[in-house]
Amino acid sequence: MSKYKRKNRQQATPALELSGRTLWILLAAAVLILTGALIRNRSSIFPANKPAVTQSLVQETATPQLEYQGASICQTQPAFLNELGFAGKAIGGTSLTGYIGFVIVEQDEAGDYQQVYQHPSWTAAGYLGPFVRDQHGNTYTAPTPFSSVELNPPEKQNRVYKIDTHSGEMAEFVNLPAALSPSPANPYGVMGLFYDCDTNSLYAASIAGSTAEAVVGRVFRIDSVAGGIEDQWSAGMDILGVGVFNGVHGKRLYMGSARDSGIFSIALDEEGNFSGEPRLEFYLAGLEGGDNDKAQRFTFTPEGEMVIKGIDFNYNLSASSEPHCNLYHMTYLPESDSWQLKTIDRVA
């Protein structure tokens, strides 16, 4: 029997002929049992709301090799996924309504969720936010408080966790140092993650310790094998999302400011370490149709397009619970090593 268990539909049993009093007693007991199960599972297995932060775990087609493209094209599905026996498409997410931590759901051809799987260790860090995968199918994620800090104490938010591709077990991977101790004004730690396939580097952006007066954010380059910190960058900026792109002049790490709508970048050397000074690329608010969003996440399409997820962020917990966002689709211009707005998708 497989060691992986899924949450499935329960088989119906034949009804029994019972007296009215007995039937009511049994119904009351059933309600208590069902309530306990829902408290343990936090949701039915067919939730009405789909997760806002999801990622396909199955690579359906090979990613084309382009001259200029994002550095995360090697991501592959976890090896343990083969043990689950999902018949449809597997989607991983960290914001499935009613669930804490990381969740995998099976999606049928109509796009509906049919099965839900959650390893027992995936709730150990409370609510989770960003997550990325490497070429082996390992998943890296970080905690993000949702509506309260009850399950996400501020002193534990500056950590990165790793979900092993074979066992599915989630364990702490690295505990990042914060410049200052956490304060009630800022419950956050690691906000952005990105995996660079070329240098096997995991980048983590942290705003741990920052306050209205103190801007002490850091960006770390982490060895994806050993979990050690290889390099760190801090220049008086708080950063949310990060993403690596291979452009005409080499690698650059793109970063979204947590304080305004600015998009910055910094060059990376051959090992993936930070090189030189950051440069301002553009402001999301300055784009045609743009808002005063903060860039929470950078992703790159197989065609080399950069997609920036912009949210309303003000260092309070409403940023975690607010589903509204804008997706800025950007086209790379190699002749000027810059980006041009293609379109903006409004997501409610």
Q: Which domains does the chain have, with CATH numbers?
A: 50-347 (2.120.10)
Element housing 84 (H / E): helix 81-84
Q: Which residues of the chain have pLDDT under 70?
A: 1-65, 87-88, 318-323
Structure tokens at 83: 């043990």
pLDDT value at residue 202: 98
How many C-beta neighbours within 10 Å does residue 275 have?
17
As a whole number of Å, the CA-based R_g of the chain is 22
Tell me what pLDDT residue 6 has.
44
Say what the pLDDT of residue 13 is.
Answer: 32
Give the tens place of pLDDT for each residue, 234-263: 989 999 999 999 999 999 999 999 999 999
pLDDT at 85: 80
Residue 123 DSSP code? G
CA angle 337, 342, 345 (to 5 degrees): 130
The answer to whether 334 and 248 have CB atoms below 8 angstroms apart is yes
Record the tokens describing residue 288, joined without a space: 């045609």
| Run of H or E including 175 | strand 170-175
CA atoms lying within 13 Å on the CB side of residue 15: 5
0.85 surpassed by pTM? no
For 13-49, write each residue's pLDDT tens digit. Answer: 333 333 444 434 333 444 333 333 333 333 333 333 3
Q: How far apart are CA 257 and CA 249, in angstroms?
A: 23
Report the candidate in 264, 237, 253, 239 with the shortest Cα–Cα distance to residue 195: 253
| Alpha-carbon distances of 330 from 55, 103, 281, 327, 338, rounded to whole Å | 20, 30, 12, 10, 10
Q: Which two tokens stand for residue 294?
A: 């903060």
Strand partners, 245: 70, 252
